[in-house]
A = this chain, B = another copy of it.
Amino acid sequence: MTEPIRARGGSGQRSRSSIVDVARQAGVSVATVSRALRGMANVSADTRERVLRAAAELSYTASPLASGLVTGRIRSVGVVAPYAGRWFFAEVMHGIEEALREHGYDLVLHVLADPARRARFFTELPLRRRVDAVAVVALPLEQAELDVLTGLGVPLASVGEPLEGMHGERIDNVAAARLAVDHLVNLGHRRIAMIGGDPDGPEHFRVPRLRAQGYTEALQGAGLTVLPNWQLDGRYTARGGELAMTSLLSQPGGRPTAVFCQSDEMAFGALKALRRSGLRCPDDVSIVGMDDHELAETFDVTTVAQPVARQGAQAARWLIDQLDRSAEQEPDGDAGQAADGGSADVSWHQVRLVLRGSTGPCPA
């Protein structure tokens, strides 16, 4: 990354300071200033403090906008997600932010938490001219919304939810669910229920439907009956999982001996419902979750792990790679067009079964 130098005077006046001024002020060499400003290890904390203070006093900084004038880039990537404040989102963000920062890009966040916000986003399109690329996280898009994003003419990538016509970083949700349910089948369970999401909900998430498909395929592969009333909506939250499990336990015809929860958060809630009902896990009911939430180990939940932060990081690297390639191809800096065609591939991430204490043999 180039490091053009900008200076801005404090207290209202505008002046330009050079690295030589900073070195003089701090009483160190220009090379030391350079090392300190790059955050390199071979500079003492005291010297770094002195250089930082001198740079602040002289208002000496590098400006990424000036860099943008050279490269034709804004050096920002937009991240669009349907929610914040959840573990999955925070993990993906963590991965994206770290990868972007390695390449000197800003992360601009847009959370489309309700329909009005979402409609406004796709009409006002605040991303326009503010980002070089866009990552869509766990957000299913309608065709018209997809058209609007494509119209930006910048590289696009999706994480989690499948999106056609756009590069994707995700897991095979059908296979992941089969892995979880096969594990229960192998333990001898025959009465296996599922707690998932509502595939017909207003958000039209596709992951719940894919994981339900894996559940159905695994049961059918084992010659087991698929019961509609053993597939409940847990809203992908701990509270929803608790309510769904409570409902499962009160159904006529006997309870399941094992439950596949489409997310670990719902598994946590299901565990709570079991405890309140005086049932032991896994002695009475086995529970398998999905994702490997950061607390799944703490609460001893068997799960199918997916690399969440890594999917975010790879989406960010893919976007930057597209920008770098198109910059090579088109020196006028019109980065978006080259990335549109032929790049709608999917990078599949491996999942693995993590055995913990919440699953055990089917009770006799």
Contact = CB atoms under 8 A, between A and B. Distances in A.
A130 interface: yes
Can you tell how many copies of this chain the complex includes? 2
A104 to B, nearest CB: 8
B298 A130 contact: no
Interface in A50-90: 51-53, 55-57, 59, 61-65, 76, 83-87, 89-90
Contacts of A128: 6, 8, 61, 63, 65
A200 interface: no
Interface in A116-132: 116-120, 122-126, 128-130
Contact of A97 (B12, B53, B111): B111
A98 interface: yes
Given A116-B40, A295-B238, A123 B84 contact: no
Nearest to A238: B298
Interface stretch (A141-149, A191-199, A227-235): A141-149
A49 interface: yes
A211 to B, nearest CB: 21
6 contacts: A52-B145, A65-B129, A90-B93, A106-B110, A107-B108, A272-B298
